[in-house]
Amino acid sequence: MLLEYYMTRNAQASIYTFEFLFSMILLFILLFLYIKDFDKKSLPVFIITTLCHSALEIVAQGTGVRVIEGATLFNIEIGYPFICFILGAFEGGFISLFAYHLAIFLKEKDRQSKLSVITLIACLMIGFILMGLINFISQSISGITPSLTRRVIFNPRNILTIIIIVIITLLYTIFYKKFDPKDRKLVLYFFIGLAIITFMINIFPHLAGIRFIEKKIGSSYVMASYIEQVAVMYGYSFIFEGAGFLVWYIIPLHLTGLLGNKLES
């Protein structure tokens, strides 16, 4: 098959412990900012998008569309549906929060959102450095061998789903009367934010050889060429797949008055 590429990950199951801790620390920080009246929007944005993504994970894993095996939290094996909420908070809540603040900054040049974007990037980089050190020490002491997982990249069902999601989002911004035409650029900015943070989350694992692209030749899996790595991983997986799948989160954020002009009462 011409386009039989696979996203391959060679990492420890403890990565979910990192995602859990990162999300919980972020949640407590956002709660503190909310209580102190420093930031009244970030916490609701994080909670709403976390719930949206958790629901999608529950459906995807419950129907077998996505399969995650051997995930651990503090060396305790966890499975469905608990893993869905960890993924919901990190892959949904954190990523969407970054895109939310970047969208506001690009549209309004808001100083608080600019600071939030810089802070979230710094926290992510520090977090990945710490995770890398912990994994290195853990492997050195315990000799644990990272698990290898693969998934097909060009899945027709996934491609169709993302196209439908993007179309629905665009139709909402065009035909929903309470969506101010001046705010339509927020969709593009939100999409850009999703693509940027998805890239940042995956660039470190890619460079470290933890996440990479393979292609299947016969019954064997071989490493894709450098050009194929860039085109498939950065061009398709991060931009189209990563950002396209989450862009509809702008709809609940707009309906709740968190993004764009406030809704009329």
| Domain spans, the chain | 5-255
Other residues' Cβ atoms within 10 Å of the Cβ of residue 117: 24
Specify whether the CB–CB gap between 153 and 9 falls below 8 A: no
pLDDT of residue 222: 86
The Cα–Cα gap between 116 and 89 comes to: 17
Could you tell me the pTM of the whole model? 0.86
For helices 15-35 and 42-62, angle between their N-to-C axes, nearest 10 degrees: 150
pLDDT of residue 137: 52
Q: What angle do CA 72, 78, 83 make, to 5 degrees?
A: 95
Q: What angle do CA 206, 212, 215 make, to 5 degrees?
A: 165
Task: Return per-residue pLDDT of the chain as tens, 265 residues.
Answer: 456 888 887 766 667 888 898 899 999 999 999 999 888 999 999 999 999 999 988 988 887 767 777 777 877 888 788 889 999 999 999 999 999 999 998 888 877 888 888 888 887 777 766 666 555 555 554 455 555 677 788 888 888 989 999 999 999 999 998 898 888 999 999 999 999 988 888 887 777 777 888 888 877 888 888 888 888 888 888 888 889 999 999 999 999 999 886 433 3
Choose among 15, 5, 4: nearest CA to 205.
15
H or E stretch at 76:
strand 76-77
Other residues' Cβ atoms within 10 Å of the Cβ of residue 80: 13
pLDDT of residue 158: 82
pLDDT of residue 224: 87
Please list the alpha-helical segments (H only) found in the chain. 15-35, 42-62, 82-87, 95-108, 111-142, 156-175, 185-207, 226-229, 244-246, 250-255
